[in-house]
Chain A
Amino acid sequence: MLHHTVLRVVSKLLIPVIMLFALYVQFHGDYSPGGGFQAGVIFAAAIILYALLFGLDNTLDVLPSGVLQGTAALGVLLYAGVGITTVLMGGNFLDYNRLAADGPTGQHLGIFLVELGVGITVSSVMLLLYYAFAGRGSRP
């Protein structure tokens, strides 16, 4: 844990902005470059920045690794769940056109949900990786 006042103040200002940017990349991904992978990594980067400055223990209080394992699994399930839903609605696996009455709306909905799943999983896994490596070093 570091006690640099400047770093702490600046990062407190920056972290919300980084998170917001991650959400922008996530939800604007179907119009411009972006999507779940990038957004997930950016979001995780914000939390990793927090962990670097305020310590791993504080971060673990907010996001325990057990919870992250759950969200990582949930993201994949969301992705696969969209696939199964399209199958149940009579289309092929991940055939988004079936999700809504008209094709383009269905496409939007499908991409949105799938990318959300990707984003959740990627950011959880990135944080879990960070925990796995950072946690080791602190042991005697």
Chain B
Amino acid sequence: MRFSQLYNYEIAIFLSMIGFYVLVSRGNLVKKVAGLSMFQTSVFILYISMGVVQDGTVPILVDGVRVYSNPLPHVLILTAIVVGVATTAVALALIIRIKEAYDTVEEDEIHEQDRSF
């Protein structure tokens, strides 16, 4: 019963934990960025799902409809999505530069090279 009511939050927690796990456990920088994106996306889902109003419809004015979902979280998350895209872009750009400088995108190999340097 409880699961069916709050499943949106549980999905968000589940996704964020997967993302976080990938971020922490993988040494490959690209995989880290993938984990980070997933972590961010889970927060987007959290925000969007909390704007839902029971029996509410899309927040566009239509005759005969009284109940609308709350549009504010969607607007907020649009901004956060843009931030997420920008972060991913900067991260990937950095990875390309790192690849050019170190010739690898594995974290441990990079540390190895820096130590001998």
Which of A's residues lie within 8 Å of B, judged by CB?
32-33, 37, 129, 132-133, 136
Query: Which residue of chain B lies nearest to A41 when distances are taken between CB atoms in the complex?
Result: B85
Partner-A contacts on B (CB < 8 A): 58, 60, 78, 82, 89, 92-93, 96
Kindly state the separation between the CA atoms of A108 and B25 in the bound complex, as whole angstroms.
Answer: 50
Residues of B within 8 A of A33 (CB): 58, 60
Give, as a whole number of angstroms, the nearest-CB distance from A6 to chain B.
Answer: 31
Does the CB pair B96–A136 fall under 8 Å? yes
Q: Report the separation of the CA atoms of residues A100 and B110 in the bound assembly, to the nearest whole angstrom.
A: 59
Distance from B60 Cβ to chain A, minimum over Cβ atoms (Å): 6
A124 CB to nearest B CB, Å? 13
| A33 vs B92: C-alpha distance when bound (angstroms) | 30
11 cross-chain CB contacts under 8 A: A32-B60, A33-B58, A33-B60, A37-B78, A37-B82, A129-B89, A132-B93, A133-B92, A133-B93, A133-B96, A136-B96
